[in-house]
Amino acid sequence: MTSSRKKIIGVIGAADAVPEDLNIAQTIGEEIASNGYTLLCGGMGGVMEAASKGAKSKAGTCIGILPGSSKTDCNPYIDYAVVTAMGHARNVIVVGSCDAIIAIGGSFGTLSEIAFALRLEIPIIGLNTWDVSSDIKKANTAKEAVHMAIELIDANN
> Should residue 9 be labelled a site residue for a copy of itself when binding is judged by CB under 8 A?
no
CB 98 within 8 A of CB 123: no
Interface residue with a copy of itself among 15, 45, 57, 109 (CB under 8 A) is: 109
**137 Cβ contact list (under 8 Å, min separation 6):** 123, 124, 125, 126, 148, 152
> Should residue 89 be labelled a site residue for a copy of itself when binding is judged by CB under 8 A?
yes
> Should residue 2 be labelled a site residue for a copy of itself when binding is judged by CB under 8 A?
yes
- The three-class DSSP label of residue 88 is helix
Q: Which is nearer to a copy of itself, 102 or 116 (CB)?
A: 116
Answer left, alpha or beta for residue 91, where phi above 0 means left and psi between -120 and 50 means alpha.
alpha
- Residues lying near a copy of itself in the complex (CB under 8 A): 1-6, 8, 38, 56, 62-63, 65, 69, 71-72, 74, 76-89, 91-93, 96-97, 99, 107-109, 111-112, 115-116, 118-120, 130, 132-133
